[in-house]
Structure 1
């Protein structure tokens, strides 16, 4: 019919059937909602233009603060696609297209090429919102009278929410301008921290990343050298049980990666062997047991050795037959743990 019902609740006072009520609209809030709503229409058409006609609306939300639009698409949008969609919407805003609404029969509406919401049921007459020849949609909501009123449009996120459905969140007008201001402020802070200008920040970051990569490689070399220096001429200390060499190493300042590299070196030199290592670095104990294929075939299980010795240094761990590691916190028990590891290896052979 021609009646409009409003649902609400009484915050204060009381009223009875037959009382006259005066309805007032929050014009500022309504205006912001209109901007976001009209922007969703421009957004949907822009998405179809950039991604293809398979794009269909799967849901939307508009408030005075932002807009959200869900649509069918099977993969994440690229940065280039997002930029193209943004550009199209902002171009249509700048073109200052008059927004018209017309009520017509559903057959007349379809002849105009207006988009209907898939799966939605409509009556004999529908309301069509038209933004020139660019966007025509069935819609009963509030809109701006001209696209220029939207001001500006900014996509702030694009993500998948379910299989084949993507979600865009965006800002318009004052909200978009505030977003630009905040982003510019963060960019200025980052540039200041990097001791450069905002326009040169990307180049500075690339240079810093290259420097970090180089320093990381140099740091790795130094750690490997520290581990080798700490091990010294350890090969002479290897104990042979049957055909398997058992070598224990107590290191200082070596991390687990350096220990692995050192273990690989000693395995290559000793052949059929099991290497039991411990290192105290930054107050933390690292244990590593590595075994050659021949040693594993002879009965060695690195994971079981680690399980036996890790509790001695107040830690725990495990792993595969050929390699296992653990962490601990009691460096004073390192020698005891290594000795126990050697005994456990002997028992396995």
Structure 2
């Protein structure tokens, strides 16, 4: 009766097997609960729903956001590959390097983590050859991925080619396999030079063969 309301507001570990709780009582607890209720009503009001419906609505919004993010990522991939209604006329022609097909392209607004998937699609598209894509992020950094179809890995090594492209963007190294490799570079403005570096390196190998 002396402390009236008792409200636990946090709990944490102090040591092994020991927990610590913090609580409010009396007027402090009352003010805390009033503030929590105000926050709840503001959040519910912003979504134009009843406070009791807030948890389910938040879950629904999170699921919708994930769906939209997936759709946006897919749209960016389609645009990068020259597909979609807005992609007409943007498809990069396949080049010929001494009888070897080369698909090289600079991609704006594509997440570097999507590069490998796009390169795989490019390899399927050309059937036999080398694919190189450079992605430019909003923070001015670049990422480059190189793919070599299985029938050409004895002549072209994706790791060596991606190193040449990364070096042109101020990067070092690159990792992967003979058929797929990726690297980064701090100077995305030199994306065209990176493509040209891979083109030159691949051209030398094609000529040597």
TM-score (norm 2): 0.71
Query: Structure 1 residue 339: deviation in Å?
Result: 1.0
Structure 1 residues 319, 171: closer, same or farther in 2, change over 3 A?
A: farther
Is structure 2 residue 181 aligned with structure 1 residue 323? yes
Q: Is the 8 Å Cα contact of residues 316 and 327 (structure 1) preserved in structure 2? A: yes
Aligned to 2:91: 232
> Could you tell me the TM-score, scaled by structure 1's length?
0.46
- Superposed CA RMSD: 3.4
More helix, by proportion: 2
Change (3 A) 1:223 1:170: same
Tell whether 2:13 aligns with 1:160: yes
The structural deviation recorded for 1:223 is: 0.8
Within a 5 Å distance, the mapping from 1:236-315 to structure 2 comes to: 236-237=94-95, 239=97, 246-270=102-126, 273-280=129-136, 282=138, 284-292=140-148, 294=150, 300-302=157-159, 305-313=161-169
**Any idea what SS the aligned residue of 1:149 has?**
coil
Go from structure 1 to structure 2 and tell me whether the alpha carbon gap of 1:167 and 1:301 turns closer, same or farther (over 3 Å shift). farther
After superposition, the Cα gap between the structure-2 partners of 1:246 and 1:162, relative to the gap in structure 1 and judged at 3 Å, is farther
Secondary structure (helix, strand or coil) at the match of 1:320 reads strand
Q: Deviations over 1:46-88 (max 9, x none)?
A: xxxxxxxxxxxxxxxxxxxxxxxxxxxxxxxxxxxxxxxxxxx
CA distance in 1, matches of 2:148, 2:49: 52
CA-to-aligned-CA distance 1:201-242 (integer Å, 9 cap, x gap): 2232123223212322221221112111166254x325367x
How many angstroms apart in 2 are the aligned matches of 1:164 and 1:268?
A: 57
Work out which structure has the larger RCO, using CA pairs closer than 8 Å and 6 or more positions apart in sequence: 2
CA gap of 1:232–1:285, structure 2 versus 1, over 3 A, is farther
CA contact (8 A) 2:123 2:149 kept: no
Tell me how many residue pairs correspond in the alignment: 197
Structure-2 separation of matches of 1:153 and 1:347: 78
1:298 Cα deviation from its structure 2 partner: 5.2
How far 1:268 sits from its partner (Å)?
Answer: 3.1
Q: Relative to structure 1, is the Cα distance of residues 191 and 233 closer, same or farther in structure 2, using a 3 angstrom cutoff?
A: same
Pick closer, same or farther for the CA change 1:190–1:315 going to 2, 3 Å.
Answer: farther
User: Are 2:51 and 1:195 aligned?
Assistant: no
Q: Within 1, Cα distance between the matches of 2:98 and 2:20?
A: 65
- Secondary structure in 2 matching 1:334: helix
**Larger Cα-atom Rg:** 1
- Name the counterpart of 1:41: none
Once the two structures are TM-superposed, the CA of residue 320 in structure 1 deviates from its matched residue by 2.8
Cα distance change on mapping 1:189 and 1:315 into 2, 3 Å:
farther
**1:127-163 per-position Cα deviation (integer Å, ceiling 9, x unaligned):** xxxxxxxxxxxxxxxxxxxxx2231222222333444
2:109–2:137 contact (8 Å) kept in structure 1: yes
